[in-house]
């Protein structure tokens, strides 16, 4: 009597995926890119340690779908970053993975051709190439860690990592964060719960052992030392924003109760702007006023921005895509981005920053 099949009942294929070492051999880390990553991480850690009074701003498209437009944006952002470097550390938002409530395009790595062909092998290689190009421009990159295996493929090119509102509560992502080489921002939950993010910071600061893969793509027990650069990202939730003075004061109290540094990043998008990109400048202006009035806990901000304002659906004919316009969440356009960053720069130049240093 044949043995009854009890596994892979819903698996239709298991295609070959190149190992991290193979992808890195195809797109090797350059010295110029490595210097950009190391310098960006050091600057971020100095900001979080209060050795550097600047703010950092993670700014860029909701997601990368067109590397040509993405690099066009990166070059513009690098020029702007150099202009405001006295007061702001600019990190380009480079998101390749998109969490989905039900269905939809899952991002450039998962489906680089945007046609449901799901060439993840090609998407991973092209994503790594894009990150290499951004870092060679001299611009540090920040991303969201969604798939726990993906950082093995491109983590050496990342300066800042976000753990999203849907995954901050996940043990898998807390364990992963404990081993990442970057500072990690944990977003509050989609219902606005801040305890989720604070518990995640505490968890990720400790050593963990968990199942993963090594550079050769083999299953491995990964053992981490813990990541001491976890911090909170306020993104609003539960039907209200949480960047106001009361919300930030409550976040400071919660961090103090957990014996964590008062390091807070405000996401100007998502629920903080009611998903209306035109409100992002108002959020940033409000936070900048708090800093000018003496707030020392806000260390950074996030902005969803692209060349063209708004967003667009993915058409059947991809040649009809508008250049430099988001295919996921709506963004502010480049002109507004310049205005937001320059305005923050001017306000910081007029603000005594010594109190932010330890």
Q: What angle is formed at CA 333 by the lines to CA 329 and CA 336, rounded to 5 degrees?
A: 125
Structure tokens at 71: 């690099």
Integer Cα distance of 225 and 197 in angstroms: 20
Q: What is the pLDDT of residue 2?
A: 75
Write phi, then psi, for 83 (nearest 5 degrees): -65, -35
What are the Cα distances from residue 187, in Å, to 200, 266, 348? 9, 9, 25
Per-residue pLDDT of the chain (358 residues; tens, 9 = 90+): 678 999 999 999 999 999 999 999 999 999 999 999 999 999 999 999 999 999 999 999 999 999 999 999 999 999 999 999 999 999 999 999 977 666 789 999 999 999 999 999 999 999 999 999 999 999 999 999 999 999 999 999 999 999 999 999 999 999 999 999 999 999 999 999 999 999 999 999 999 999 999 999 999 999 999 999 999 999 999 989 999 999 999 999 999 999 999 999 999 999 999 999 999 999 999 999 999 999 999 999 999 999 999 999 999 999 999 999 999 999 999 999 999 999 999 999 998 887 788 7
3 state DSSP class of 353: coil
Q: What is the pLDDT of residue 227?
A: 98
Q: What is the pLDDT of residue 98?
A: 79
Q: What is the pLDDT of residue 289?
A: 97
Does the predicted TM-score (pTM) go above 0.95? Answer: yes
Cβ-count burial 224-249 (b if 16+ within 10 Å, e if not): beebebbbbbbbbbeeebbbbeebbe
Integer Cα distance of 192 and 195 in angstroms: 9
Integer Cα distance of 135 and 32 in angstroms: 8
Neighbours of 14 (CB within 10 A): 7
Q: Which of 244, 324, 290 is nearest to 71 (CA)?
A: 324
Map out the domains of the chain as residue ranges. 24-350
Residues 6+ apart with CB under 8 A from 67: 126, 129, 130, 133
Q: What angle is formed at CA 282 by the lines to CA 281 and CA 285, rounded to 5 degrees?
A: 85
In terms of residues, how long is the chain? Answer: 358
CATH of domain 24-350: 3.20.20.70
CB burial of residue 280 (10 Å; 0-12, 13-18, 19+)? buried
3 state DSSP class of 138: coil
């Amino acid at each position: 009597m044949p043995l009854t099949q009890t596994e892979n009942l819903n698996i239709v294929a298991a295609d070959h995926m190149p190992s991290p070492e193979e992808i890195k051999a195809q797109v090797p880390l350059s010295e110029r890119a490595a210097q950009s990553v190391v310098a960006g991480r050091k600057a971020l850690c100095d900001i979080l340690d209060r050795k550097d009074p600047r703010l950092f701003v993670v700014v860029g498209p909701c997601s990368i779908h067109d590397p040509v437009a993405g690099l066009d944006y990166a070059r513009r952002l690098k020029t702007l970053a150099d202009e405001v470097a006295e007061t702001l550390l600019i990190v380009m938002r480079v998101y390749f993975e998109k969490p989905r409530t039900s269905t939809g395009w899952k991002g450039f790595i998962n489906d680089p051709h945007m046609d449901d062909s799901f060439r993840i092998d090609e998407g991973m290689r092209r994503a790594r190439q894009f990150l290499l190009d951004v870092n060679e421009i001299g611009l540090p990159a920040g991303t969201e860690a969604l798939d726990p295996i993906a950082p093995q493929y491109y983590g050496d090119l990342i300066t800042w990592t976000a753990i999203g509102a849907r995954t901050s509560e996940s043990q898998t992502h807390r364990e992963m964060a404990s081993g990442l080489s970057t500072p990690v921002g944990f977003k509050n939950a989609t219902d606005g719960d801040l305890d989720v993010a604070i518990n995640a910071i505490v968890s990720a600061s400790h050593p963990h052992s968990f199942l993963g893969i090594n550079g050769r793509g083999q299953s491995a027990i990964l053992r981490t030392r813990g990541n001491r650069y976890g911090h909170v990202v306020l993104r609003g939730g539960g039907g209200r924003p949480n960047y106001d003075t009361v919300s930030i004061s409550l976040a400071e109290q919660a961090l103090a109760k957990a014996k964590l540094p008062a390091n807070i990043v405000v996401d100007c998008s998502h629920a903080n702007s009611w998903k209306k990109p035109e409100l992002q400048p108002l959020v940033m202006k409000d936070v900048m006023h708090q800093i000018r009035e003496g707030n020392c806990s806000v260390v950074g901000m996030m902005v969803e921005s692209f060349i063209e304002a708004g967003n667009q659906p993915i058409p059947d004919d991809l040649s009809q895509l508008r250049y430099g316009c988001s295919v996921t969440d709506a963004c502010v356009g480049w002109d507004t981005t310049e205005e937001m960053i320059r305005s923050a720069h001017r306000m910081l130049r007029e603000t005594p920053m010594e109190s932010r240093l330890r």
